[in-house]
Structure 1
Amino acid sequence: MKIISFGDIHEDTSNLVKIKSDLETADLIVVSGDLTNCHGKAETKKVLDAVKKYNKHLLVQYGNMDKPEVDGYLAKEGINLHGNGYMFGDIGIFGCGGSSPTPFHTPSEISEADIERFLTNGYNKIKDAKWKVMVCHTPPRDTATDIVRSGMHVGSQTVRDFIIKYKPHVCISGHIHESRAKDKIGDTVVLNAGMFRDGWYIEVVIDKGNLSAALKSVA
């Protein structure tokens, strides 16, 4: 199974054409959050329609920069990853959107307790999967994926603790644009591709008992 993932699109889909081959050959496209710039359903639909030109197999969750109505819209479309889990053979994918509280009071911030609840809800739906892929818009604290320009770590301790406890094979995150990186917590690979218009995305391939997870560039 080949999964292509990106997030922090913020309504700029211009790089999609540059990864046309990867999009068209993927078994699943995962959008990890922040489709819009503080907008709702109409702008979200435009982004999804742009992705669907290349691949209609999507799982999507809202980010902190999307209005709360986006969560309901994705649920009605049957593609919502937030607080949910999906099985694809022996592969399970689960997620949590929004973000932990920020100083900027963005549209869709949730508490650390809510993050734990939504991750647990999703995980319980895929807990028997051989391979577990976690998609959390907020990155785990104290990794290379959660560092702002000042050098401070601003990720979620709850997300980190969840990874340590449940040991998913991969954690796809985003949210912190300047913290594009690949890191590990124990055996869990943690990736943040940064903002999509900067030209980076994630590829996860699970094939014949092996898993690989990498950051890729449009260049």
Structure 2
Amino acid sequence: MTGTAFWIGVGDIHDDVSALGRIPEISDAAGIVISGDLTVRGGVADAKRVIATARGHNPVLLAQIGNMDKDEVDAYLTAEGINIHATGRVTPQGVGFFGCGWSTPTPFGTPSEAGEDRIAAWLDAAHGAVAHCPLLVLVSHTPPLGTAADVVGGGTHVGSRAVRDCIERVQPDICLTGHIHEATAVDRIGRTVIINPGLSAAGGFARIELGPQGLSARLCRA
């Protein structure tokens, strides 16, 4: 184990937990952070299986739903005490994680989609819970608009303007995102590092480290 505290960031699990067990040092991490899409249009029963497997690797979890999870999963995560959608949690190390799940509208009619105004309101509520923290990680299922993390085939940017506006205003240290599987990337908006580890089943994950110089993040593959 390294001398720094670190978190494992994953997303877009889509019922396939096979890669979690291949992540180096996952049991030594300060926690696992799931950015959304635990299931494939699934409800609580499917989400429970994902959460149980993740807890088998590390008991400390933060999670939220993505657009592919039914709304009932949001209430389940809250009941489990691990939900960061539209709220925030401060870790024992003093890092404030705040989240926004769901996604902006897609062409596919997925279970949990919302407009930019609603996304913006959730982001404001989430940030308010941790605004006092000097170190911040935004966990947004939808990537910010106009970055390497929100590009689909043909080069079209499909991220959220509300997420980008929040990042430009708040400037968290890290934004862990997902949703766009093919846009595995690290980018930056101002001082904020944007990181999309891509599809979990493909082995992608982010390692978020707290060291003497603050927070950093890097893309890894299991």
TM-score normalised by length of structure 1: 0.97
Partner of 2:170: 166
Aligned length: 217
Partner of 2:115: 111
SS at match of 1:182: strand
Residue 187 of structure 2 is aligned to residue 183 of structure 1: yes
Partner of 2:39: 36
Letter matched to residue 214 of structure 2: N
Q: In the alignment, which of 74, 82, 95 is matched to residue 71 of structure 1?
A: 74
- Alpha carbons 1:4, 1:22 under 8 Å: kept: no
1:111 deviates by 1.2
Partner of 2:7: 3
C-alpha separation in 1, matches of 2:127 and 2:214: 21
C-alpha separation in 2, matches of 1:13 and 1:90: 29
Where does structure 1 differ by over 3 angstroms across 4 or more consecutive aligned residues? none
Residue 50 of structure 2 is aligned to residue 47 of structure 1: yes
Partner of 1:87: 90
Letter matched to residue 56 of structure 2: K
1:59 deviates by 0.5
- Alpha carbons 1:66, 1:108 under 8 Å: kept: yes
* CA RMSD after TM alignment: 0.9
C-alpha separation in 2, matches of 1:73 and 1:40: 9
C-alpha separation in 1, matches of 2:126 and 2:215: 21
C-alpha separation in 2, matches of 1:164 and 1:35: 28
SS at match of 2:66: coil
Which consecutive residues of structure 2, in runs of 5 or more, have no partner in the other structure? Answer: none
TM-score normalised by length of structure 2: 0.96
Percent identity over the alignment is: 45
Which consecutive residues of structure 1, in runs of 5 or more, have no partner in the other structure? Answer: none
